[in-house]
Amino acid sequence: MISKNKVDFKTFIKKQIDNGKTNWNSKSELIRAAKIKVNGQSNRILKKFEKHFCFDAALKKKNKAIKRYFDSQIPGSFISVEGAANIINQELPKNLKIGETIIYNRLNDTKFNTGNLKGQTLDNQVSKTKKYNVNISSSFQQKIDEINSKSEKFYLNIEDTQAGNKCLRLKIYKFDKSENIVNSSKKIISGTKINTTFPPNEDSIKEIKQIINEQTK
C-alpha cells in the first residue's frame, strides 16, 4: 500500500518542477517545504527527480561574493578573515550570511584562491615582524595626512596590532549613484574595494600611492 505522504510528496515535487521552482539551498529545504520529515524515504523519492533541481544556489551566491572580494585584494597579501566576512556579508542577503570558517576553507583552496591570499592568525600576524615594531614620526604621519587629503575615495590610517606594534591600513571604497532623486548625480559609498595592511615604512607609502593611482583612475 502506497502511503499518503509518499503520494503527496511526489505531487509536491512535480508541482515545483512545473512552476519552475527548481533552485533550492539544499535537499532538506525542499523536503521540509513539503511539510514532511527528512528521512530515507523522502530522500529516495526526491532522488528520482534530482536532475530537475539545483540544490547549491545559496553556496554559489556565497562563493561568488567571496571570489569577488578575493580578486579585489593585492595578490600574496594577508587579509583579516573576520574583516573579510563582515565586508562580504554586506553584499549578501540576511539568510545567506557567512562565517569565518568558509573564508578559511576558500583560502586553502588553491583553485579558488588564485591570488595566494593568506589569513591573518596569531602565528602569522604581520605585527610579529620587526618592520612593524616602529615609532611613527610626525613627518611620516604628515605623509599619511597628505594622502588622505587628496580624495574621499580612500582612507589610510595607522592601526595598533594585537602585539602592540603599528601597521598601515588602506581602504579604497566603491561608489554608486545616490537613489535620492534630488541628489541623483551624487555618489555614495556602497562597499569596499580594497581593505589591506602594510608595514609602516617609506616603501609602503610608495606602494600605496601606486595602488591608489591604479584603483581610482
pLDDT surpasses 80 at 74 = yes
Which residues neighbour 130 within 8 Å (Cβ) at sequence distance 6 or greater? none
pLDDT surpasses 90 at 13 = yes
- Please give the pLDDT value at position 122: 47
pLDDT surpasses 70 at 104 = yes
- Please give the pLDDT value at position 130: 56
pLDDT surpasses 80 at 181 = no
Name the average pLDDT for the chain. 82
Mean per-residue pLDDT, 52-69: 86
- The H or E element spanning position 119 is strand 118-119
pTM score, two decimals? 0.45
C-alpha dihedral sign at 202, 206, 212, 215: negative
